[in-house]
């Protein structure tokens, strides 16, 4: 039995009419062989449903499709399992699905757990499926995490995080730090960027996001030290204009300015991107001093013989 959808309705600045819902229903029926990701992209293109910067509204579309399925208006294709998929050269496994609504104390302790090599494909698929910006491939130094809580049946994954290399140059950040171009070139690796932060769409736990950020800040230095041989002293992130950074503010991150509206690799200033707010989080009290400390010398390895 199908349940009627009250129309028209608004999602953000996009009005959906009865004709839109009918088009979605027919498209889902006719293209049931597509994966959910392919179906979502197809609908965004055909509606059309895009952000002002031209990006497809994939995450909002996913939420609408799940709501329509819950109301029995459509039947989505099953999540594809046991199929090797790749994005940006990295293997995709199976996206994690968790439904959970609770208070933070009910599901404590919250933990931030490094992703193992066996979990990496599922982490990739989870981020590619649910994050509004999708996921292609992490380049350079990086650290992936799962966010877990205590559910009724044990530890459950409720989110994921990625930390990676800092932006090469940011006027607002560099002026706020007060370093020279030479210092930026030499010491930028001591800044780590929170590239992706995801709470699964069917997880509703107040204050979970800010708790996860605080826990990540506590352990990122040790994890980075173990992996790369030095400790970062400052975190940064960029927030899209449609978001306000509430969880970062709650976790005591500082908003210090805006990006110039160009992509990370836009050396020749040809490609416009959305202007994002820049947020930072110092990891140590004397971070300005620590930021320009010399990096540790590589450890020499003993290749045999007697001392």
CATH of the domain at 231: 3.40.630.30
Residues 256 and 114 in one domain: yes
Residues 109 and 208 in one domain: yes
Residues 280 and 173 in one domain: yes
Pair of tokens at residue 114 = 């490094």
Task: Say which range, 46-50, 103-107, 228-232, 279-283, has the weakest mean pLDDT.
Answer: 46-50
Give the total number of structural domains in the chain. 2
Residue 265: predicted pLDDT: 41
User: What's the CA gap between 254 and 245, in Å, rounded?
Assistant: 10
Residues 118 and 203 in one domain: yes
Question: Mean pLDDT in the chain?
Answer: 84
In a domain, 299, yes or no: no
Residues 49 and 113 in one domain: no
In a domain, 56, yes or no: yes
**Residue 140, SS3?**
coil
Which of 36-40, 189-193, 259-263 ranks highest by mean pLDDT? Answer: 189-193
In a domain, 305, yes or no: no
User: What's the CA gap between 82 and 63, in Å, rounded?
Assistant: 24
Q: Residues 248-306: pLDDT tens digits? A: 999 999 999 999 875 544 333 443 467 899 999 999 999 999 988 887 755 443 333 33
Residue 87: predicted pLDDT: 56
Residue 39's pLDDT band (cuts 50, 70, 90): confident
Q: Residues 83-93: pLDDT tens digits? A: 445 555 566 78
Q: Where are the beta strands (DSSP E) in 122-233?
A: 142-151, 154-165, 191-199, 203-204
Residue 54: predicted pLDDT: 66
Residue 262: predicted pLDDT: 56
Residue 264: predicted pLDDT: 46
* Whether residue 189 has pLDDT greater than 70: yes
Residues 196 and 280 in one domain: yes
Residues 108 and 65 in one domain: no
Cβ within 8 Å of residue 107, ≥6 positions away: 100, 149, 150, 151, 158, 205
Residues 146 and 204 in one domain: yes
Cis peptide before 109 (omega within 30 of 0): yes
Residue 292: predicted pLDDT: 87
Residues 34 and 172 in one domain: no
* Whether residue 208 has pLDDT greater than 90: yes
User: What's the CA gap between 123 and 144, in Å, rounded?
Assistant: 8
pTM of the model: 0.69
In a domain, 192, yes or no: yes
Pair of tokens at residue 227 = 């992996």
Residues 116 and 52 in one domain: no
In a domain, 1, yes or no: no
User: What's the CA gap between 146 and 139, in Å, rounded?
Assistant: 19
How far is Cα of residue 61 from the mean position of the Cα atoms in its chain? 17
Cβ within 8 Å of residue 93, ≥6 positions away: 120, 121, 122, 123, 124, 125
N- to C-terminal Cα separation, the chain: 80
User: What's the CA gap between 146 and 126, in Å, rounded?
Assistant: 10
* Whether residue 176 has pLDDT greater than 80: yes
The long-range contacts involving 149-157, CB below 8 angstroms and separated by at least 24 positions, are 149/100, 149/107, 149/108, 149/109, 149/110, 149/111, 149/205, 149/208, 150/107, 150/108, 150/109, 151/98, 151/100, 151/107, 155/111, 156/98, 156/100, 157/96, 157/98, 157/126, 157/200
For residues 290 and 59, the model is more confident at 290
Residue 127: predicted pLDDT: 92
In a domain, 81, yes or no: no
* Whether residue 4 has pLDDT greater than 90: no
In a domain, 281, yes or no: yes
The average pLDDT across 115-123 equals: 92
Domain extent at residue 64:
9-70
* Whether residue 125 has pLDDT greater than 60: yes
The size of the chain, in residues, is: 307
Residues 63 and 129 in one domain: no
* Whether residue 168 has pLDDT greater than 90: no
Residue 88: predicted pLDDT: 52
The average pLDDT across 32-59 equals: 79
Residue 162 CB coordination number (10 Å):
20
Residue 89 CB coordination number (10 Å):
7
Cβ within 8 Å of residue 137, ≥6 positions away: 87, 88, 89, 90
Residues 191 and 268 in one domain: yes
* Whether residue 233 has pLDDT greater than 80: yes
In a domain, 111, yes or no: yes
């Amino acid at each position: 039995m199908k349940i009627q959808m009250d129309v028209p309705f608004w999602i953000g600045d996009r009005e959906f009419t009865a004709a839109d819902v009918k088009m979605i229903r027919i498209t889902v029926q006719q293209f049931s062989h597509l994966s959910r990701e392919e179906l979502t992209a197809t609908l965004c293109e055909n509606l059309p449903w895009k952000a002002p910067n031209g990006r497809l509204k994939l995450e909002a579309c996913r939420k609408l499709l799940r709501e329509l399925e819950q109301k029995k208006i459509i039947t989505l294709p099953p999540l594809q399992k046991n199929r090797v998929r790749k994005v940006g050269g990295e293997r995709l496994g199976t996206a994690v699905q968790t439904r959970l609504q609770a208070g933070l104390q009910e599901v404590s302790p919250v933990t931030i757990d490094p992703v193992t090599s066996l979990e990496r494909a599922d982490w990739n698929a989870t981020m590619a499926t649910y994050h509004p910006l999708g996921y292609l491939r992490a380049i350079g130094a990086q650290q992936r995490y799962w966010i877990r809580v205590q559910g009724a049946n044990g530890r459950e994954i409720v989110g994921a995080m990625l930390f990676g290399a800092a932006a090469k140059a940011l006027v607002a950040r560099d002026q706020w730090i007060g370093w020279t171009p030479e210092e930026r070139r030499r010491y930028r690796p001591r800044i780590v960027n929170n590239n992706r932060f995801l709470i699964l769409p069917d997880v509703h736990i107040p204050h979970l996001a800010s708790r996860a950020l605080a826990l990540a800040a506590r352990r990122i230095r040790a994890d980075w030290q173990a992996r790369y041989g030095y400790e970062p002293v400052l975190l940064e992130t960029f927030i899209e204009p449609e978001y306000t950074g509430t969880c970062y503010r709650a976790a005591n991150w500082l908003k210090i300015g805006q990006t110039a509206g160009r992509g990370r690799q836009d050396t020749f200033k040809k490609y416009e991107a959305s202007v994002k707010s820049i947020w930072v989080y110092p990891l140590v009290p004397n971070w300005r001093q620590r930021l320009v400390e010399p990096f540790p010398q590589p450890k020499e390895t003993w290749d045999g013989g007697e001392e």
